[in-house]
Amino acid sequence: MTGLVFVDTNVLLYAIDSREGSKHQSASDWLGRLWRERTGRTSVQVLSEFFVNATCRLSPGLPREQAWEHVVALSAWDPQAKDFLVLELGMQVQSHHGLSWWESLVVAAAHRQGCGTLLTEDLQHGAVYAGVTVLNPFRTGVQEARQHYAPQLAPPLLRGRGRPRKTSATD
């Protein structure tokens, strides 16, 4: 696979939850590959969701310090902040595709980071939103993705701010 890959919360959680069997193994394989190739990306929103779920919803939950160590390690992936451009693109994604607000923000963050692929099980496998293709890491193994998938990032949905430049007949 070429290009950057955005990783959603559920994949990060499966990677630390060994009780999940094959999903744990798949998530671990994917993360291992993304670390080796230095192509993994995520967002502050995803890291926040990860921390809350890892400490409060997993049974047993991780100690806060251990969950925070994971968050700090993943900061190497240059997490996308939830800024106004992410919100604006998220609104466009939600309006156009009917996704939930939170899913739309994940897609927007992936797009803003230039990711052609979004690893998640929360959206339809193979669907394309804002030029980002969803890949369910539990349906497609790491090696299969290399052989069958080459993500293509579409041009940005957002137009530049301000008025278009006027052109004259002499230009």
120, pLDDT greater than 50: yes
* CATH for the 4-148 domain, from 2.40.30.260, 3.40.47.10, 3.40.50.1010, 1.10.20.60: 3.40.50.1010
> Would you state the torsion angle of the CA atoms of residues 141, 149, 48, 12, taken in this order, to the nearest 10 degrees?
10
pTM equals 0.83
171, pLDDT greater than 60: no
pLDDT, tens digit, 9 for 90 and up, residues 1-34: 569 999 999 999 999 998 888 999 999 999 999 9
Domain boundaries, the chain: 4-148
Query: In angstroms, how far is the first alpha carbon of the chain from the final one?
Result: 43
Residue 141 binned pLDDT confidence (cut-offs 50, 70, 90): confident
72, pLDDT greater than 60: yes
What mean pLDDT value characterizes the chain?
86
